[in-house]
A = this chain, B = another copy of it.
């Protein structure tokens, strides 16, 4: 899966090569895209005058391109409009690991770091399409049922895009791993799973009489794993690109 020469993988260089625990690194489209598509929240790192910023935001993927959004007033977006280097990271936190030594305490996780140059979406057609996908990627076909966007709203929303130039996934899914000799010790060790789940949806208290929940939202139901629902939503929207 790590062959950087295969056309199904992102290229590897000094920027994205996983160095520490390199056996945890993956660069293939399939692994990288699946981890991105199972998330709605990312953190974007960017630089202004030498000062790094780490900003949480909602994002989505189209092929080898990422999109995220915010107000035109945002400091981040102003800075990235010119094609600035950025790093977008998604982390799925899967478990806390209690080992028999402090050194082997750890976490199970799946993360992706994506590197590229972020830029403001200025083409009107690309922007209009992005504003639809921003909603429909989460909630299939929802835009068609909404009050249409006004010109003012479209102006007030900025969309940022970044082609994936480099990417690396890093996965630890090993549970408790101790030194061979430590298994002989009378010390308790365990894996504590962590999941991100949906709660019971809360209808707006001001819904008009007779307005029902659309069938397309049925995938969003209590106790389901967020990562599974987000992946399904993208497939249901019929627009997913490998």
Chain B neighbourhood of A199, CB < 8 A: 192-195
User: Which residues of chain A from 51 to 69 have any CB-CB distance to chain B below 8 Å in the complex?
Assistant: 51-56, 58
Contact B182 A147 (CB under 8 A): yes
Bound Cα distance from A115 to B146, whole angstroms? 40
Interface residue A242 (Cβ < 8 Å from any Cβ of B): no
List residues of chain B with CB within 8 A of the CB of A71: 20-21
Interface size band for A: 35 or more
Q: Are B208 and A184 in contact (CB under 8 A)?
A: yes
Are A43 and B43 in contact, with the CB atoms below 8 A? yes
Taken together as a complex, chains A and B put the C-alpha atoms of A188 and B240 apart, in Å, by 25
Which of the residues B19, B88, B134 comes within 8 Å of A73, measured between beta carbons? B19
> Contact: A201 with B190, CB < 8 Å?
yes
Contacts known (A74-B19, A107-B58, A182-B147); A202 close to B193, Cβ less than 8 A: yes
Q: A51 near B89 (CB under 8 angstroms)?
A: no
Flag whether A1 is at the interface (Cβ < 8 A): no
Task: Determine if B200 and A186 form an interchain contact, defined as CB atoms under 8 angstroms apart.
Answer: no
**Which residues of chain B have C-beta atoms less than 8 A from A206's C-beta?**
176, 178, 183
Chain B residues with CB under 8 A of A193: 198-202
